[in-house]
Each structure stands twice: as C-alpha cells, then as structure tokens.
Amino acid sequence: MKVYTSDRSADTSAPERIKVGIADYAVAENDSTLVTSGLGSCVGIALVDAEAGVAGLAHAMLPSAGDAERADDARRDGTEAKYVDTAVPGLIESMTAAGADPSRIEARIAGGSAMFEFTAGDGGVGERNVGAAESVLAGHDIRIVGRDVGGDYGRSLRFEAATGELVIQRAHGETHTI
C-alpha cells in the first residue's frame, strides 16, 4: 500500500501518475492520477471523496482472505490488497488518514472478467470478485456510482483523483469513462 500527496518540491506543472500493481492499492490527493493495467478476473475498486480531493485505487485478485486469522495475516504481511475483503477496509483507512471522510466516499468498480471457461457451480473468480466488492462496499455504506464488469476481456484503468472519473480502456480498444 502506498499513500501519495501532491506536495512535491519538483516540477508540479504535470499531474503525478501513480502506478498500482496487481494485489496493490494506493491513495492519492488532488491532481494525481492512479493507473493500473492487466485487470482480467481481478477487480479494480476506485474510491473517492471528491470534496477532500482524496482518491484510492485497489487492484484485488481474489474475493476473500478466508477466515479472520488469514485476514489478520494478510494485513500483517502486507498482502491485504490481494483480497477484496481486506483491500477495501485498508483502502478506506488509508484514505481517511489522508483526509477523506468515509461518509462521503463513493465507488466505481471495473474488471471481474471471465477470462477462462469455468463450469463449477459457484461461478468464476471474476464474478466472485465483483460480488465480494459489492458486498464489502455495501457493508461500509459506500455507494457504487459506476461499474464496468464482466465480459471476457481485460481492462486498464486511469483514475483521476481530482474529478473521481474512472477511464476504462478495454483490451479490444474501446474506451469509456464512469
């Protein structure tokens, strides 16, 4: 997890671009841009408190760390962003530390594709990741204001901290903003 601010002593004329890796999350302020790529079955969870100018982006791989002991282990060993159910609370906590008000946070989610044929009755990883994101966000009273989920293609994301706009580039070339 990384927390960034826009308080830079170098050239501040260009917005800061912050890369969020797989099983990672980052928090940014003001005019920074959070980016991630390679979302297949993974889910991108973009949170913003627009009034505070604080945004966060998680790139979670799996829906759940499992039981409480494994969730605690994930938080301790720095792998909390790997799981939706530990990434979201960690991201909210980091955003709050950066000045966000949890009651004003809104969400956008993307990803959760069915990248591989899967025939088990409990659904594919992508579908379960989306369900976990919806459930965990609802549990924190965070409203999802935009989504681009499912399908059978990858996505790359660009999240603008200042506006809360999530720009989605689909692998087949289509780009849109939520």
Q: Which residues are catalytic?
A: 42
In contact, 61 and 34? CB cutoff 8 Å = no
Q: Within the chain, where are the H helices?
A: 68-77, 84-97, 125-139
> To 10 degrees, what angle do helices 84-97 and 125-139 make?
40
Parallel, antiparallel, or unpaired for β 24-29 and 143-149? unpaired
Residues paired with residue 62 on neighbouring β-strands, in sequence order: 83
